[in-house]
Amino acid sequence: MNDKKPAKLVDDRCKKGLMALVVVLVYAADQLSKAVVERTMELGQRIEVIDGFFRWFYILNPGAAFSFGEGHTWVFTLIQSVAVLIVIVALVRSRALWWILSLATLLGGILGNLTDRLFRPPGFGTGHVVDFISVGNFAIFNIADAAICCAMVGVILLTLVGLKLDGSYETKAEKA
């Protein structure tokens, strides 16, 4: 017997609205922030916000995280396209509130970076992603990247606690 408190479930009508709201908010925040950076900063420009720790730093990233795979941008476009389909399928199957929030955030982030890859120079499917948030000596990223990372933390936590997409919890027999 499972003694965990039941997960909060979302009915289909509310689910569609919640999914759309979260995806649109993440996507819009990402694309609007990139547009502002492109209009107000020069490529390579740095603006210190918190000296030595946090800055705006406008770059174009042809690769993945940490500029990995710069010569294979089209591969990341394909991976992101497949990821969009997988996340949509998982969203359609989900009923648990926390899964819906995590997956919708993930979808909004993936769509934000995929839009850059598809429609920014140098060409369709090989576009460079606008990055502009720089924290310490860590990395330079954007709102879509942050959304993807936060969503993946949520997915990992939900998986660790055994919450399924449908709102039920894994039984001890399923975990074994």
- Of the candidates 3, 12, 30, 145, the residue annotated as catalytic is 145
For this structure, is 145 an active site residue? yes
From the list 12, 51, 116, 131, the catalytic residue is 131
Residue 3 appears among annotated catalytic residues: no
In three-state secondary structure terms, 46 is strand
Question: Tokens 């490529």 identify what position?
Answer: 43
Task: Please say whether the beta carbons of 57 and 143 come within 8 A.
Answer: no
Greatest CA span in the chain, whole angstroms?
60
Contact indicator for 112, 141 with CB cutoff of 8 Å: no
Best CA proximity match to 37, nearest among 120, 124, 149: 120
Question: Contact 18/100 with Cβ under 8 angstroms?
Answer: yes
* Encoded tokens for 27: 């996507």
Two tokens at 93? 């199957």
Catalytic residues: 131, 145
